[in-house]
Each structure stands twice: as C-alpha cells, then as structure tokens.
C-alpha cells in the first residue's frame, strides 16, 4: 500500500515541479530543463528529482546550481499544492540516461552506416 502511495506522490511531484520550473522560477541560470522522473522513498521523506538539461556541461552545472538555490521555494510550493502531512526533502540529480541513450543511438547509427558501406563494396 505504501509503495503505491509513493508512486502516486512521485507522479504528482513530477507534475508540480515541472509547472513550477516552467512558470514561476525566474533564475537566469536555469536553462531548458525537463523533469525525467521522481523517486520518492516509501516513508515519503525524500524525493529525488531527476532532470535533463539541454546544453553543454557548463549549462548543466549552472542549472543545477539554480535549482539547488530554489529548492526551498520549490518545496514550499509542493507543500501548498499537494496535500501531504510532511513534504519530502527534495534533491536534484542530473539524469544520465538520456545522454547515455543518445550515445548508444549514435553508435548504432555508425555501425549501421559501416555495414551499409561494406555491403556496397
């Protein structure tokens, strides 16, 4: 039962944080951010928010700094929008899976091109 609740809370947090970042944060350090997932512990005390950032390494670092600075505001807004007895602590993590998937896709494309060239010869 608590697992299902944690999943539902994670989905709500993901939806609300996305809206907060898009519409309410005015920090120029925060670039184009996508919330790719949220993991909430079963006791609802900690929420890991996974983000993907468009841009280079410097843009990622700046965005994570901006999100860390706005963590208190975001947590307070979550508390206002979602009815929870205790609002979980939030932690932002960079989601490596999107970048990893793009790298794998590029490698597969390169292999396919090499095989096509070998078949032509």
Is 42 buried (19+), middle (13-18) or exposed (0-12) by CB count in 10 A? Answer: exposed
Q: Name the pTM for this structure.
A: 0.77
The Cα–Cα gap between 86 and 79 comes to 8
| Domains located in the chain, CATH noted | 2-95 (3.30.300.20)
Q: For the chain, 121 residues long, give each residue's pLDDT as a single digit of tens.
A: 457 888 899 999 999 999 999 988 888 888 788 899 999 998 889 999 999 888 888 888 898 999 999 999 999 999 998 888 889 999 999 887 767 777 788 888 888 888 777 777 6
CB 37 within 8 A of CB 50: yes
């Amino acid at each position: 039962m608590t697992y299902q609740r944690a999943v539902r809370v994670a989905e709500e947090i993901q939806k609300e944080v996305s809206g907060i970042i898009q519409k309410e944060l005015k920090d120029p350090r925060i670039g184009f951010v996508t919330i790719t997932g949220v993991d909430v512990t079963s006791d609802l005390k900690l929420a890991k928010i996974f983000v993907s950032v468009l841009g280079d390494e410097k843009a990622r670092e700046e965005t994570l700094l901006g999100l860390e600075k706005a963590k208190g505001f975001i947590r307070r807004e979550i508390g206002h929008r979602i009815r929870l007895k205790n609002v979980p602590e939030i932690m932002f993590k960079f989601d490596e899976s999107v970048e990893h998937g793009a790298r794998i896709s590029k490698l597969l494309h390169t292999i396919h091109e090499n095989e096509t060239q070998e078949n032509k010869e």
